[in-house]
């Protein structure tokens, strides 16, 4: 509702070919409507929304690292809690990653290019995670058909919606390859997966030496 209707409102006033990449379409919308004060309010709302999103991201990432560390899938340092039972190491790591993202403004002078790089990589990672979720659900349907049949809350559309989403993700990847800036980000993303795979294998080998079997958790 928020994304689709917002786009409809923008496109009803400004042709999509006339949208300027380095200016907020919402601000331009109110400027065209003759309400410059409203444009300032929109800027304030966008800043607070970005801060809220960053805060939730830091919170969830630190807790996710803590859970992965408990399962042996992340460095043991992330498993340690502070005096207030907060996964401080995960919190520090999340904040460091956030600051590294801000450092892109100094490495890439063009803010639009830096923003495009970050959002494209984020979009690819988002689609990767959700593709795994959809494929896992399809596998669940196939291997646990009886449990699915007994479920009271079935996914509307079932298999069709899963495949529709996967096809849509593939379509987005094709679109990202058309433009130079998004294509560069698309080419950088595999490097992240390579680093993640090597780090994961290293952590697993240290936490679970060959031949060692974890005791069952109580």
Q: Is residue 85 part of a domain?
A: no
Q: Is residue 50 part of a domain?
A: no
DSSP annotation of 211 reads T
Q: What is the CA radius of gyration of the chain?
A: 22
39 touches 31 (CB < 8 A): yes
Please state the pTM of the whole predicted model. Answer: 0.67
Q: Which domain does 189 fall in, by range?
A: 109-211
Q: Is residue 95 part of a domain?
A: no
Q: Is residue 165 part of a domain?
A: yes
Structural domains in the chain (count): 1
For 156-215, the pLDDT digits (tens) are 788 898 999 999 999 998 988 887 778 888 888 888 888 888 888 887 777 666 555 455
Q: Is residue 122 part of a domain?
A: yes
Q: pLDDT means per 10 residues in the chain (218 residues)? A: 80 75 74 76 83 87 88 83 87 86 77 79 88 92 84 81 92 86 82 85 71 50
Q: Is residue 1 part of a domain?
A: no
Note the Cα 47 to chain centre separation in Å.
19
Q: Is residue 83 part of a domain?
A: no
Q: Is residue 5 part of a domain?
A: no
Here the contacts of 93-99 (C-beta below 8 Å, separation 24 or greater) are 93/61, 93/62, 93/65, 94/57, 94/58, 94/61, 94/62, 94/65, 95/58, 97/61, 98/54, 98/57, 98/58
121 touches 192 (CB < 8 A): yes
Query: Residue 62 burial by CB count (10 A; 0-12/13-18/19+): exposed, middle or buried?
Result: buried
């Amino acid at each position: 509702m928020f994304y689709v209707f917002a786009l409809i409102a923008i496109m009803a006033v400004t042709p999509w070919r006339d949208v300027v990449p380095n200016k907020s379409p919402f601000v331009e919308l109110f400027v065209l409507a003759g309400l410059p004060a409203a444009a300032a309010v929109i800027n304030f709302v966008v800043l607070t929304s970005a801060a809220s999103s960053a805060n939730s991201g830091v919170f969830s990432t630190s807790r996710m690292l803590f859970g992965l560390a408990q399962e042996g899938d992340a460095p043991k340092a992330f498993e340690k809690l502070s005096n207030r039972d907060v996964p401080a190491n995960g919190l520090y790591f999340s904040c460091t990653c956030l600051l590294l993202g801000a450092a892109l403004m100094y490495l890439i002078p063009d803010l639009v290019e830096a923003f495009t790089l970050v959002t494209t990589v984020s979009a690819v990672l988002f689609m990767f995670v959700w593709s795994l979720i959809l494929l896992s659900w399809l596998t669940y349907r196939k291997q646990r058909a009886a449990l699915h049949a007994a479920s009271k809350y079935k996914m509307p559309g079932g298999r069709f919606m899963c495949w529709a989403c996967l096809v849509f993700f593939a379509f987005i990847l094709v679109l990202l390859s058309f433009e130079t800036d998004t294509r560069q980000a698309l080419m950088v993303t595999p490097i992240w997966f390579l680093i993640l795979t090597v780090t994961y294998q290293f952590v697993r080998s240290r936490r679970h030496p060959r031949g060692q079997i974890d005791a069952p958790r109580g």
